[in-house]
Amino acid sequence: MAGPRHPVSVSGAALVQTDRLQMFAFSVCWSDDSDTFARRSWEEFRRLHKTLKETFPVEAGLLQRSDRILPKLTDASLLVHWGRTGRGLARLQLLETYSRALLATGERVTHSPVLTGFFAPQPMDLEPVLPAGSLVILPAPQEPLPGPTGSPAIRSQEAQSLHCLQPFSTQDTWGQPFHARAQEALDVLLRHPSGWWLVANEDQQMAWFPAPYLEEVALGQGRDGEWSLGSSGYQFCASHSYESSQADELSVTTGARVRVLETSDCGWWLCRFQGRTGLLPAAILQPDGLGTLLSGPWLHLRVDGGEDREGEAQSSPKSPQATTLPPTVPARPSRSAIQSCCCTITCEALGQDPGCHGPP
């Protein structure tokens, strides 16, 4: 590899907020073709902007205004809809624009330790769960989603089509039977930290559904029955970098997101990363808390925020024996937990009172 890696693109993924704190989640793609998630606060971006101006006075236009290439960090107006949440989403969009402008300034800035260090995975980014009481809010898409006239406002949320792994029956938001068939496509409207997600089928019937029964839509199978890059797997992230020493192993960087295809009790798991399938030591893999919420099935996370130790790493040697992770239904959250994490807009979109909706 020619030199240390550097970020090549940054996209705003979600607003993560608690009662006291707002964090902005970004998907970061790197020059080594890996991608990570980063959570940063508004104050951290302000400190980054100040440091960049001090480190690159010419690019900041401090010596001559005409030389300025560093973008300005613009804050969102206080007069926005939906109060604190609305301003947070506005800030997320502004920070995405600011980050992309930074990456367009040239190698002197984009390859600098200041910028690469800012977007590099921090300990908080690698935590397997989000802070208790976190609310993950997805930004609305640029273009309105297609749908019939008068469809619920919740449809303005970012929807991702996932497949149901196995048949599962529950009730919809109106108490009517909701049956999902194996491989049926469901649109995910809202991802709740409990592991129960709000989905809609092709008939626009909405229901709370266990996330472990959902998988990303695969691109298909290749020749000789081998899965293509789009094949499903459980998403984990690497807590430490690892350099392969055998032909059947993978190399990953800290924070890299991988798909765990099979686990075993020998301490080595079969994974897929950057189009390659190989083994990684289970000791460096942990559930990808934020990544799981945003782009894949819920991974062994309990509603109380703890970590399921079912797949805990062992230190025994490699073994070809492995077992596929089965879907598990997360514990149903209490009504108060749902009420505290769903906004009034969502309640109105579902046509129910704030205290009366949620997983049945």
| 296-325 pLDDT, tens digit each | 333 222 223 333 322 222 222 333 333 334
Answer yes or no: do 56 and 121 share one domain. Answer: yes
pLDDT at 354 over 90: no
CA dihedral 269, 281, 250, 165 (to 10 degrees): 30
Domain end point (choices 270, 294, 318)? 294
Answer yes or no: do 128 and 209 share one domain. Answer: no
Q: In what order do the strands lie in the sheet with 22-30?
A: 35-40, 22-30, 7-17, 135-137
Nearest of 50, 46, 135 to residue 94 by alpha carbon: 46
pLDDT at 1 over 80: no
43-60 confidence digits (pLDDT tens): 999 999 999 999 999 999
Would you state the pLDDT for residue 188?
Answer: 81
Answer yes or no: do 198 and 132 share one domain. Answer: no
User: In this structure, what CATH number is given to the domain that contains residue 21?
Assistant: 3.30.1520.10
Answer yes or no: do 133 and 31 share one domain. Answer: yes
Q: How far apart are the first and last CA of the chain?
A: 52
Q: How far apart are CA 230 and CA 175, in angstroms?
A: 35
User: In this structure, what CATH number is given to the domain that contains residue 187?
Assistant: 2.30.30.40
Mean of pLDDT values over 277-302 = 65
Q: How far apart are CA 360 and CA 358, in angstroms?
A: 6
Answer yes or no: do 89 and 185 share one domain. Answer: no
Answer yes or no: do 272 and 201 share one domain. Answer: no
Answer yes or no: do 31 and 105 share one domain. Answer: yes
Q: How far apart are CA 128 and CA 174, in angstroms?
A: 33
Domain end point (choices 105, 137, 169)? 137
**Quick one: pLDDT band at residue 348, thresholds 50, 70, 90?**
low
Domains of the chain: total: 3
Domain of residue 263, residue span: 235-294
Q: How far apart are CA 59 and CA 107, in angstroms?
A: 12
Answer yes or no: do 208 and 240 share one domain. Answer: no
Q: How far apart are CA 209 and CA 26, in angstroms?
A: 26
88 domain residue, yes or no: yes
Q: Are 179 and 209 in contact (CB under 8 A)?
A: no
336 domain residue, yes or no: no
Would you state the pLDDT for residue 145?
Answer: 39
**Quick one: pLDDT band at residue 105, thresholds 50, 70, 90?**
very high
pLDDT at 224 over 60: no
Answer yes or no: do 18 and 80 share one domain. Answer: yes
74-90 confidence digits (pLDDT tens): 998 887 777 788 889 89
Answer yes or no: do 129 and 37 share one domain. Answer: yes
Answer yes or no: do 21 and 80 share one domain. Answer: yes
